Amino acid sequence: MVKRSGPKDPEKERRILDAAIANFAKDGYQNAKTDQIAEQADVSKGLVFHYFGSKAKLYVTAVQASYDRLIEMADLSVWQDAPDLKSMILRATKYKIQMQIDHPAEFGLSMAPYADLGHLPPTVQEQVRHIWNSEMTAMVPSMIDPVIDRLNLRPGVKPATVQKLMTAMTMLIGEDAKALIQNNPDITISEMGTVIHEVEDYIDILEHGFLADA
């Protein structure tokens, strides 16, 4: 077999990544086929492997590209400028749901670290976890710390603990929204009322606890 050489064609590389993101988000790592990715990208299967080396490397690159695209599009002021915790989470939830509707493939694949993780080869799991942890470490503080700094926390409550709870809650909200969107791809933000109401309940419990006063 003759090995290809020379620089990559940026347009073909972009088409391969677009197709990979769409297929991996739809079918998961195991069921996505490189033949289908190549066909959708209008390139040969050999070129896919020449550019990315293996299905595993293509998957990891596609996950990273999904994060990069979402972050580039994101308006962080939705989080940062909120006057309080409730406003921030409600605003951010509606904003993220709209992004999820507008960019389902990128958003779906960005969920891979906890949605598809058990189906990934061990080395890919490790790489995807690293991407997830790196993105969360880089992005979450800049998004929500300005709001946490404005909260009147009770003595003994650490801002870092609130941050972790909020991160976990947004992951849960994302899964709820994803299920609704998968069942109805044409859903609009105004039809996501059940998720919004659940978010309000989550916020109330996060701020006030779930036990009645003694």
pTM of the model: 0.76
pLDDT digits (tens, 9 = 90+) for 98-156: 888 899 899 888 876 666 667 788 889 889 888 888 887 788 788 888 988 888 888 99
DSSP string, the chain: -PPP-S---HHHHHHHHHHHHHHHHHHHHHH--HHHHHHHHTS-HHHHHHHHSSHHHHHHHHHHHHHHHHHHH--THHHHT-SSHHHHHHHHHHHHHHHHHH-HHHHHHHTHHHHTGGGS-HHHHHHHHHHHHHHHHHHHHHHHHHHHTTS-PPTT--HHHHHHHHHHHHHHHHHHHHHHHHH-TT--GGG-HHHHHHHHHHHHHHHH-SSPP-
Q: How many domains does the chain have?
A: 1
Asked if residue 1 belongs to a domain, the reply is no
Instruction: Please compute the mean of the pLDDT values over residues 83-100 and round it to a whole number.
Output: 85
Higher pLDDT: 1 or 141? It is: 141
Asked if residue 122 belongs to a domain, the reply is yes
CA angle 153–141–161, rounded 5-degree value:
40
Q: Which domain CATH number covers 189?
A: 1.10.357.10
Asked if residue 214 belongs to a domain, the reply is no
pLDDT digits (tens, 9 = 90+) for 32-45: 999 999 999 999 99
Residue 41 is predicted with a pLDDT of: 97
Residue 117 is predicted with a pLDDT of: 66
Residue 6 is predicted with a pLDDT of: 63
Asked if residue 170 belongs to a domain, the reply is yes
Q: Which residues contact residue 61 at a Cβ distance below 8 angstroms, ignoring those fewer than 6 apart?
A: 17, 20, 52
Q: Distance (Å, rounded) from C-alpha 1 to C-alpha 36?
A: 23
Provide the residue range defining the domain that includes 105. Answer: 10-208
Higher pLDDT: 77 or 114? It is: 77
Asked if residue 107 belongs to a domain, the reply is yes
Cβ pair 110, 94 in contact under 8 A: no
Residue 115 is predicted with a pLDDT of: 62
Asked if residue 3 belongs to a domain, the reply is no
How would residue 1 be classed by pLDDT, with cut points 50, 70 and 90?
very low
Asked if residue 76 belongs to a domain, the reply is yes
Residue 57 is predicted with a pLDDT of: 95
Phi, psi dihedral angles at 186 (to 5 degrees): -95, 10
Q: How far is CA 205 from the centre of its chain?
A: 25
Instruction: Using a pLDDT cut of 70, give the percent of the chain over it.
Output: 93
Higher pLDDT: 5 or 138? It is: 138
Asked if residue 193 belongs to a domain, the reply is yes
Q: Is the pLDDT of residue 2 over 50?
A: no
How would residue 10 be classed by pLDDT, with cut points 50, 70 and 90?
very high
